[in-house]
Amino acid sequence: MKELTGIHHVTAITSSAEKIYDFFTHVLGLRLVKKTVNQDDIQTYHLFFADEKGSAGTDMTFFDFPNIPKGVHGNDEISRTSFRVPTDESLIYWVKRFERLSIDNDGIQEQFGKKILRFTDFDDQQYQLISDEKNEGVESGTPWQKGPIPLEHAITGLGPIFLTYADFDYIKAVLEQVYNMREIGQEETFHLFEMGEGGNGAQVIVDVQENLPVHREGFGTVHHVAFRVDDKKAIEDWITHYQQFQLPNSGFVDRFFFQSLYARVTRGILIELATDGPGFMGDEPYETLGEKLSLPPFLENSRESIESQIRHFDTVRSTKTYEKE
């Protein structure tokens, strides 16, 4: 069975599709590459923000479940999402940008030999930027060429994903024995694991916090993290692998944009495995990705009904010019 090759995507929950679109587009400078609906709850938007090409390993996605309460951070949580930027100097640019735009941040710090900048959004969703200056391993993506961020400082993809968990021995066993990751470092309560080629795009950081209350899912929290596999055959091999651990799972799921397998490894941590393809280019022109409501084929016949149930908001960017600042 082939190893996992890196982080595929992170899916989180937002209080507002419109506000998260504004934040990711105009503050972070990621490209909305797909505006669709939650395939299991068609009244909920599912927005995909990624690099210029919608590459695997670069996208963070959001649900806006109606009437969901605010989440509470704590134990048993996928607790922070990282984004990769090219250099240490890029973080200086981002500190100034965040201060100018009144984005809460902790200033530049260092962890596991990399410069980082932690910040939050309007929902208290937890993120960090991480510098690729000293990075080796999985390559990152291509920044959004027409976005508002100078290309030498723009976000290129996903970095280490944080898990907060009380029982380190258990979560270490899950990561190493089930997912074939390896522990390569420790600083204070943080343990660094990596998969595949390693590097920022293939790492998980476990924060061991024995006294925190259990987190509560809601807006401002992460729903699940996905790791990369090559193809459908790999998914089938992982189903067999899960059976050896008697780990309950979803079985094969075709998400149209990629193929998936889900397993809840703890009560609060849901892990998806997802294929790199087919990707986001199959149903929209490259130039106008994310500008219309995209539906997978099995929902297309219900388009009129879905569009009547879901509120419209404008995501057209192809006719606009963003000044890099």
Residue 1 reports pLDDT greater than 80: no
DSSP 249-303: ----EE-SSEEEEEEESSSS-EEEEEEEEE-S-SSS-GGGTTSSB---HHHHTTH
Measured CA to CA, the distance from residue 231 to residue 150 in angstroms comes to: 34
* 309 has pLDDT over 90: no
Give the tens place of pLDDT for each residue, 268-297.
999 999 999 988 888 889 999 999 999 988
What pLDDT, in 10s, does the model give residues 191-242? 999 999 999 999 999 999 999 999 999 999 999 999 999 999 999 999 999 9
pTM metric for this prediction: 0.97
φ, ψ for residue 233, nearest 5 deg: -60, -40
The token duo for 126 is 């937890």
Which residues lie closer than 8 Å to 233 by C-beta, 6 or more apart?
none
Query: Domains plus CATH for the chain?
Result: 6-309 (3.10.180.10)
* pLDDT of residue 6 exceeding 90: yes
Kindly report, residue by residue over 139-198, the tens digit of the pLDDT. Answer: 999 999 999 999 999 999 999 999 999 999 999 999 999 999 999 999 999 999 999 999
How far is residue 87's CA from residue 155's CA, in Å, rounded to a whole number?
A: 10
Is there a contact between 64 and 23 (Cβ–Cβ < 8 Å)?
A: no
Q: Using CA atoms, how far apart are residues 153 and 90, in angstroms rounded to an integer?
A: 5
Provide the pLDDT confidence category of residue 2 given band limits of 50, 70 and 90: confident
